[in-house]
Structure 1
Amino acid sequence: MNKTLFERLGGRNGISKIVDDTVENHMNNPAVNARFMPFKEKPEQLAIIKSHTVDFFSAGSGGPNDYKGKDMVTAHTGMNISHAEYMHVMDDIVMALDKNNIDEDSKKDVLSILWSLKGMMIGK
């Protein structure tokens, strides 16, 4: 029997680790860290963002829970994310997947999901 992407990413705990590592990568990436560094001073708000991200990706990868947060357009409206920033964010996510020893097929599945969301975030 084939495992869901959720299972291949290590379930909710695995996705939480990937999100933590991704946010750390964003904070260290000079191309996007200006968007993330202010959250170092707001740990409660950062925890909420991380939790929503885990919920979103858990639901979207075949996990058992529904996502109840904002849709991607609403969540990113006013941010005016550039194509270059989006590509840097994707690179940061791939680095987090590598750090967590995610297999190549699962990484491709994650990238496919991220690519499908691009139009909902860029330039909004």
Structure 2
Amino acid sequence: MTDTLYTRLGGAEGIARIASDLVDNHIANPLIGKRFAGSDPVAMKKKAAGFFSMGSGGPNTYDGLDMLSAHKHMNISDNEYMAAVDDLMKALTNAGAGDREKAEVLYIFYSLRPDVVGV
């Protein structure tokens, strides 16, 4: 039996590290960082970890909005979305994720694109 993506990414601890790095990367990113001005990084990291856990086959601890509701009227561009993808890949690399895991996360992330870009 194959382990879930959640397990392969290190379970709750690994997902929390990835989510923390992801949020830090977003905040520091010159293209998208301004969108996070005034946000609570601790709360964002918790939401990101919950979403990541749910989406990778772990426990469903996510209590936030669905992606369309969360991004509606933000008019996120393709360039901003790609900057977020780059931030995610950096977080996964920093966590020591393998190519298989990165590909699976990338697939999930791209499946969410219609609910994020240009809505």
TM-score interval for Structure 1 and Structure 2 normalised by the shorter chain: over 0.9
- Output the CA distance in 2 between the equivalents of 1:104 and 1:78: 34
> Which of 77, 80, 83 does residue 88 from structure 1 map onto?
83
- Output the CA distance in 2 between the equivalents of 1:21 and 1:50: 9
TM-score (norm 1): 0.89
Which residue number in structure 2 is paired with residue 112 of structure 1?
A: 107
- Output the CA distance in 2 between the equivalents of 1:95 and 1:116: 19
Q: Any idea what SS the aligned residue of 2:38 has?
A: helix
Which residue number in structure 2 is paired with residue 122 of structure 1?
A: 117
Matched residue type, 1:33? G
Q: Deviations over 1:87-110 (max 9, x none)?
A: 000001000100110010000000
> Unaligned stretches of 5+ in structure 1?
40-44
The runs of at least 4 consecutive aligned structure 1 residues that moved more than 4 Å come to: none
Matched residue type, 1:120? D
- Output the CA distance in 2 between the equivalents of 1:113 and 1:77: 19
- Output the CA distance in 2 between the equivalents of 1:48 and 1:100: 21
CA shift for structure 1 position 46 = 2.7
Which protein is richer in helix relative to its size?
Answer: 1
Identity, in percent, stands at 44
Which residue number in structure 2 is paired with residue 11 of structure 1?
A: 11
Instruction: Count residues in correspondence.
Output: 119
- Output the CA distance in 2 between the equivalents of 1:64 and 1:32: 29
RMSD of aligned Cα (Å)? 1.3
TM-score (norm 2): 0.92
CA shift for structure 1 position 47 = 2.2
